[in-house]
């Protein structure tokens, strides 16, 4: 799925984490365009603009200004065409309630952001491997 022609949407307000995702994708030779939006509000605006291509996957932080990840997920499921986009939460939150809320709102996975760059690459590699092996409708 990654390495398809569709873009990856990263919803992340931390510039260092966004750069880590971008570098990880390059290191793993994943060539999808990376679209970065700084909060859920900007991501929703991007997704609802018919001029933009629907991404193959959304990588979502939870703790962001304006519209956080949980609020974004609540809005996303209101749209049939958006709720089917695989969404992986990438967060520093270890709160059990965040995990429960995320899965109840239809995320495909929940991963804790590692501090170490090498581990960050491993997380992205795991996401890529999972979606490469998954058989989707």
The tens-digit pLDDT sequence of the chain (137 residues) is: 555 688 999 999 999 889 988 998 888 888 889 999 999 999 999 999 999 999 989 999 999 889 999 999 999 999 998 988 999 998 887 888 988 998 999 998 898 887 787 887 888 888 777 766 555 54
How much is the pLDDT for 133? 55
C-alpha distance from residue 88 to each of 48, 51, 96, 109 (Å): 19, 24, 16, 5
Domain ranges of the chain: 8-132
User: Whole-prediction pTM value?
Assistant: 0.89
Residue 84, both tokens:
């089917």
Residue 12 confidence (pLDDT): 95
d(CA 99, CA 18): 21
Chosen CATH of 8-132 out of 3.20.20.70, 2.60.40.10, 2.120.10.30, 3.40.50.2300: 3.40.50.2300
Q: Would you state the pLDDT for residue 37? A: 97
């Amino acid at each position: 799925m990654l390495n398809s022609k569709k873009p990856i949407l990263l919803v992340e307000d931390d510039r260092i984490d966004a750069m880590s995702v971008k570098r990880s994708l390059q290191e793993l030779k994943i060539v999808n365009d990376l679209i970065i939006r700084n909060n859920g509000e900007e991501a929703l605006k991007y997704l609802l603009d018919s001029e933009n291509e629907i991404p193959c996957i959304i990588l979502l932080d939870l703790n962001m200004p304006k519209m956080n990840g949980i609020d974004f997920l609540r809005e996303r499921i209101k749209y049939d065409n958006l709720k089917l986009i695989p969404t992986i939460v990438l967060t520093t939150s270890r709160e059990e309630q965040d995990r429960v809320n995320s899965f109840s709102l239809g995320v495909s996975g929940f991963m804790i952001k590692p501090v170490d760059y090498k581990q960050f690459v491993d997380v992205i590699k795991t996401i890529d491997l999972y979606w490469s092996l998954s058989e989707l409708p």
